[in-house]
Structure 1
Amino acid sequence: MNITRVLLLCMALCLGGMAWAQTGARARASGDAGNSPLVQVADGRMLAPDIARIVNHGELVVSMLAADNPPFFSTQKGQLVGTDVDLARLIGKELGVPVRFDRSPKTFDGVAEMVANSQADLGISRLARTLKRGQMVHFSNSYMRLGHALLINRVRFAEMAGDQPLPQVIRNFTGSIGVIANSSWEEFGRRNFPQAKLVSYPTWQDAVNAAIKGEVVAAYRDELEIMQIVNSDPSLALSLRTVTFNDLESPLSIMVGIRDLTLLSFVNEVIAQRAEKPTVSSVLKSIK
């Protein structure tokens, strides 16, 4: 190859590179949808498709359990309030849209399923991460962590334990444990107490009542709920005792659709930058 051909080839490559750069610049300047994964919304912003969907829709749809669960979410004086409600509204505020809460789900799993089926943008409802839910939705970073606990009927437990030490009986629990049906506690119960007999109840109060009456040896949920039961009625300490686990916890997360990866990242950033991060102690104080 002679020098002239080499020079011509170099000039062609340079001109081609310049043309490609100019085309890309024009596409970026014009917001050409054909060359960009972003979507232009009405106010001119270029947003990721999942974020643009919410902005164009004009609202953030949040799936939330039908039954009240204070202090996370409950209706007081006609207004929906609670720590989960505040978090949902903060996300909506940062997106620039109002929040619409859909409280049609009757179970905790139903909240996650609604998000999985694209019937809601987010699921925020005191939801713990479970292997079942992890097969159909994304989990956000945890926004609160709750330790596991048992509310134990003293008489039934004494009958089961005999002379065995408490730690040994708890770790090899063979009695009956009440849990909320279609909740994370069914999965946690099967995993953490494989020898126990799990009894599912429609509501947490039903499980607590079963423990009080001795229909089950214990009721199983997080430390916050167990402490609320005992604090609300100190006389229960005569018939019930509590056990809290330091090595078991339930991280609460927001459920996000499997296609909404930018929304997931955005939600995680809102959680990370939140000024106030609730703890068991702060939530208990707010209840009092």
Structure 2
Amino acid sequence: MNMLGGAWLKFARFKSNQFILAVLASSCCSMVSANSDTGTNEPSDRGAFAAAAKGGLRAPAMARIAQQGSVRVAMKSLHNATANSAGVIGVAPFLVKSHGDQCSVCNAGSAAKIYDGKVCGFDVEVAYLLAEKLDTNLIIDLSQHKYDHVVDLISWGDADLAVSTLSSTLRRAQYVAFSDPYLELSQTLLVNRLAMEKLDLTQAAIVAGMPRIKSNKKSVPALTIAVEGGSSYAEFADDLFKGHNIRRYDDLLVAMDALIKGDEVFAIYADNMQIIQLLNDNKKAGLFLKMVNLQRPDNISIATNYNDSSLLNWVNLFLREIKMDGELTALKQKCGLSGGLYE
């Protein structure tokens, strides 16, 4: 190549580089210009959060709730619930039927939150606080008659959240996502005292594990354990009481009658609050029955659809916040759930 040709090539390369630099400079200027209203030289994508704060870009689940103008919270229906001796229908203090503006639970310190003149309780109090923090309206869905069906409703995407004293279990976690626990109950047996004596069983032996119970160095025959059908305890029982008969009841008050007789049911398996409610409803039953704490926690969580990761993250932050500022403790005290068992 001659000298003239070499010089021309260098000139062409120089002009080409100048063009590339000009394009880059123009692009940078455009980015700064697009964000000029903030008075900064930050790239335009840094403005995404600012847009969200003005009601613009939001995570999908949060945008859906904002568009709905409400958060839809699922709870187990009281449709088949039986009134106890005090006339209370439901599972106190978590969810009970109200009588207009009257509520039998969660009145300590301030009036109970009552939804649509129908239901009240700890679950309702938590749901109202959650909706308040979301700055939206609350809709409570009471269409499902079993706890497992409440989980199904969330799995199908027919409700945003479930606040229904739901135990977080391995099986349920295959269908929904669970928040951090906000309440800890205790797995408990209510046992027929006479049946214990006949089998020569001690409370320590029962706590140690029903499948391994020994009586006079002989294996205990298969016993009948009553649980609420469609609850987490039906699932727990299949694992904990292998080799024994698990009988499912729609209403534990019916199981209570069978337990007192002693020849049909050996024990009722439920959380400590349900057991206490059963005993309070039948004062004389305490003479025949014994409450055995199995020293196994029952972690209660809020359920979200497995696709709603942003909502799950928000719920966990919500729970963390109301724990730190004492709001959750105040709700527990209001509903009679304060103390070590419920922290």
TM-score, with normalisation over the residues of structure 2?
Answer: 0.71
Match 1:172 to one of 210, 213, 223 = 210
Would you say the 8 A contact 1:178–1:219 is kept in 2? yes
Counterpart of 1:77 in structure 2 is: 99
Q: CA deviation at 1:21?
A: 3.9
1:64 aligns with 2:78: no
Match 1:49 to one of 42, 60, 63 = 60
TM-score, with normalisation over the residues of structure 1?
Answer: 0.83
Match 1:144 to one of 179, 183, 192 = 183
1:210 aligns with 2:247: no
Report the RMSD for the aligned CA atoms in angstroms: 3.5
Counterpart of 2:276 in structure 1 is: 227
Would you say the 8 A contact 2:210–2:240 is kept in 1? no
Would you say the 8 A contact 1:149–1:222 is kept in 2? yes
Q: CA deviation at 1:271?
A: 1.4
Q: CA deviation at 1:231?
A: 3.6
3-state SS, counterpart of residue 293 of structure 2: strand
For residues 333 and 210 of structure 2, what CA distance do their matches in structure 1 show? Answer: 27
Match 1:133 to one of 144, 167, 172 = 172
Deviations 1:158-194 (A, max 9, x none): 23x23x5442345135411100001100111112222
For residues 238 and 81 of structure 1, what CA distance do their matches in structure 2 show? Answer: 32
Would you say the 8 A contact 1:61–1:100 is kept in 2? yes
**Larger Rg over CA atoms:** 2
Q: CA deviation at 1:116?
A: 0.7
3-state SS, counterpart of residue 221 of structure 1: strand
Which amino acid letter does the alignment assign opposite residue 68 of structure 2?
H
Counterpart of 1:182 in structure 2 is: 230
For residues 98 and 306 of structure 2, what CA distance do their matches in structure 1 show? Answer: 33
Give unpaired runs (5+ residues) of structure 1. none
Counterpart of 2:299 in structure 1 is: 251
What are the residue-to-residue correspondences of 1:93-104 with 2, within 5 Å? 93-104=132-143
Compared with structure 1, are the counterparts of its residues 257 and 207 closer, same or farther at alpha carbon in structure 2 (3 Å cutoff)?
same
3-state SS, counterpart of residue 297 of structure 2: strand
Would you say the 8 A contact 2:91–2:274 is kept in 1? no
Q: CA deviation at 1:23?
A: 8.1
For residues 59 and 160 of structure 2, what CA distance do their matches in structure 1 show? Answer: 14
Which amino acid letter does the alignment assign opposite residue 83 of structure 1?
F
Which amino acid letter does the alignment assign opposite residue 116 of structure 1?
S
1:11 aligns with 2:64: no
Which amino acid letter does the alignment assign opposite residue 235 of structure 1?
K
For residues 206 and 61 of structure 1, what CA distance do their matches in structure 2 show? Answer: 32
Q: CA deviation at 1:69?
A: 2.3
Give unpaired runs (5+ residues) of structure 2. 1-8, 79-89, 101-116, 212-221, 339-343
Deviations 1:205-233 (A, max 9, x none): 22222212222100000111212323444
Counterpart of 1:283 in structure 2 is: 336
Which amino acid letter does the alignment assign opposite residue 91 of structure 2?
N
For residues 4 and 93 of structure 1, what CA distance do their matches in structure 2 show? Answer: 64
Q: CA deviation at 1:198?
A: 0.6
Match 1:262 to one of 290, 294, 310 = 310
For residues 73 and 245 of structure 1, what CA distance do their matches in structure 2 show? Answer: 24
Compared with structure 1, are the counterparts of its residues 82 and 16 closer, same or farther at alpha carbon in structure 2 (3 Å cutoff)?
same
**How many percent of aligned residue pairs carry the same amino acid?**
26
Deviations 1:34-66 (A, max 9, x none): x9799979x734322211111111111111111
Compared with structure 1, are the counterparts of its residues 38 and 88 closer, same or farther at alpha carbon in structure 2 (3 Å cutoff)?
farther
Compared with structure 1, are the counterparts of its residues 24 and 112 closer, same or farther at alpha carbon in structure 2 (3 Å cutoff)?
farther
Q: CA deviation at 1:71?
A: 1.1
Q: CA deviation at 1:143?
A: 1.1
Q: CA deviation at 1:4?
A: 5.0
For residues 306 and 50 of structure 2, what CA distance do their matches in structure 1 show? Answer: 18
For residues 115 and 14 of structure 1, what CA distance do their matches in structure 2 show? Answer: 50
Compared with structure 1, are the counterparts of its residues 87 and 169 closer, same or farther at alpha carbon in structure 2 (3 Å cutoff)?
closer
Compared with structure 1, are the counterparts of its residues 38 and 256 closer, same or farther at alpha carbon in structure 2 (3 Å cutoff)?
farther
Counterpart of 1:238 in structure 2 is: 287
3-state SS, counterpart of residue 103 of structure 1: strand
